Amino acid sequence: MCGIAGVLGNEASAAPLIATLAHRGPDGVRTEDGRGWSIGHARLSIIDLEGGWQPLHAAGGTVIGNGEIYNYVELTEQFGLKDKLSTGSDFEPLLHLYALEGPKAFARLRGMYAFCLIGGDGRTWLVRDRFGIKPLYYTAGSDGVRFASEPRALARGPMVPERAQELLALNYTLGEETIFAGVKRLAPGAVVEVKDGRALSSPLGGGGPRSGGGGSADSASPLRPPGSPPPKGEDLLIQTLDAVLENSVSVHQRSDVPYGLFLSGGIDSTAIATLMSRLNARPVTAFTCGFDVAEARDERAQAEKVARALNLDWRETTFTEDDFWRLAPQAAWALDDPTSDYAVLPTLKLTEAAKGTLTVVLSGEGGDELFAGYGRYRRALRPRWLGGRAAEPQVDVPMLADGGAGALMRWRAATAGIEGSLLKRSQAADIATWLPHDLLLKLDRCLMAVGLEGRTPFLDPEVAAFADALPDRMKVRGRYGKWILRKWLERACPAADPWGKKKGFTVPVAAWIAPRAAGLGPRLAALPAIARVCDVEAVRAVFADEAHASKRWPLLFFGLWSLIHLEGLQPGDALKTLLDD
């Protein structure tokens, strides 16, 4: 896990770009210049601590990468590369594979990654993993192509109002265009060639999932990796799931530094904890976060029950009101590509707790999307007369002139054309939007803000292949989602109580904002960014009427974000600007 940046097709230096990403690479920064290019790498050392420094050179090529290529061991053995390698880095085999196969080699990678590869054949590539676990942004213009792991490293244009409206309506922004004019995201799964410092093309395809099944090994869709149909019969399915998940967790543990996990007490993180406990001789370190507000919902009790059953080294941390006001501006700073998902707050508290004990953290992102855990999937399958409705965002944003309807229309356009059953279409829509632009972005920024690496074993090509091939009834049955995962967990960790009623996870932001709402409303309404996209009278009304308490956090986050990223304030100063004490 690192930060990368570069300039392609121009003689400018990457040094100023990578300097802004030093938080992603606390172990050191290196830059290198070549003919028509300059690249930089900020390193968080995970594999081959001494020899894995980048840029890496081999087989006539050069690479800088962010993330991990988990199957580097298998690729080294398969292609007989051991005697050719000069380091133990997981990225060096990629250069040898590229020399053998060209860009077709990229389809062989199993991992989370965003990289720039300058081949010995003179071709230059920007590549991002299929799910978009690792971020990559770029600008393209007369000054060449500039790329970086975070938008803050790039010359940013003004705010795009349409994207700000999406943020307030959806909690994240859609597509390849970011909230900054001229700064784009490389799409999940994109394999892009850079030519002459200007032209960008995708000769091998790319982008997010557009189908619920089928496809070839070269497909960039995370729902269409290679794989055989699942076996028939429940017992064989559960055995196969066990093997697939164990293999994924095993390779996700490849690390030369301490690793552990975030344990929420839910199905997904418990599944990972179960397998980590099986695979490690020593107790696995697990961190759980709860809240000090009586009415707040969390699953600490269930997490403790699981931790005791699995003999985990379980560590609990509590999120307080003081933490909220301290971490809210830090969240806004970390999320330069914004998501107002309030789960960013306990995630930041967990990273603080884990820092110093762990360097690598496994997490359960992706389990709900792959195995159909969300309640909205089950509602979509019910007839209307039983309360059924489409599994799409529910928007009701009084601060926006159209109530958020425009953002919803753009969401529908972004997910149009997805094929498959109703359930698979709903899953694929989330994988194309919510997953990369909210959940994975949040995980990346929160952990990298303090120099930790986050890994997501569910978002593995082999796991995705298994999940996608499952019939719908193995995912959703009656009132239960993730049906096959629950059946497996019933055997693998009975203490998980996989059929018990889920308590859920709610961050009590409304309770913490309420005492300061009267002063926050006018100050937020006066901010230029908010005045540009919102009805300022409606903003004031949201903070004056408790009936709209749930709308306050997105506005507070956006206000802090705009003060930091548009007006240049430090996080602490941004908060002081909005508070009346």
DSSP string of 565-576, one letter each residue: HTS---HHHHHH
Give 449-500 pLDDT, tens digit per residue: 999 999 999 999 999 999 999 999 999 999 999 999 999 999 999 999 999 8
The answer as to whether 227 is a domain residue is no
Quick one: 195 and 279 in the same domain? no
Task: Identify the CATH number of the domain in which residue 164 sits.
Answer: 3.60.20.10
Quick one: 520 and 486 in the same domain? no
Which residue is associated with the tokens 């606390």?
26
Quick one: 256 and 121 in the same domain? no
SS3 139: strand
Task: Identify the CATH number of the domain in which residue 268 sits.
Answer: 3.40.50.620
Quick one: 406 and 378 in the same domain? yes
Sheet order of strands, 61-69 included: 56-58, 61-69, 111-118, 124-128, 191-195, 199-201
Cα radius of gyration rounded to whole Å, the chain: 23
DSSP E strand stretches across 176-225:
184-185, 191-195, 199-201
Half-sphere exposure of 339 (CA within 13 A, CB side): 21
The answer as to whether 208 is a domain residue is no
Quick one: 441 and 382 in the same domain? yes
Q: What is the pLDDT of residue 339?
A: 97
Quick one: 410 and 547 in the same domain? no
> Domain range for residue 524?
509-578
Quick one: 248 and 361 in the same domain? yes
The answer as to whether 337 is a domain residue is yes
The answer as to whether 215 is a domain residue is no
Sheet order of strands, 259-262 included: 313-319, 285-291, 259-262, 360-362, 453-455
Q: Which of 201, 217, 249 is the last residue in one of the domains? A: 201
Give 208-249 pLDDT, tens digit per residue: 433 333 322 233 334 334 456 777 788 999 999 999 999 999
Quick one: 266 and 409 in the same domain? yes
Q: Quick check: 52 pLDDT over 90?
A: yes
Q: Which of 146, 181, 201 is the last residue in one of the domains? A: 201
Give 155-203 pLDDT, tens digit per residue: 778 999 999 999 999 999 999 999 999 999 999 999 999 988 765 666 4
Contacts of 217-220 spanning 24+ positions with Cβ under 8 A: 217/107, 218/104, 218/107, 220/130, 220/188, 220/189, 220/190, 220/191
The answer as to whether 209 is a domain residue is no
Give 269-304 pLDDT, tens digit per residue: 999 999 999 999 999 999 999 998 776 777 888 999
First to last CA, the chain: 39
> What is the number of domains present in the chain?
3
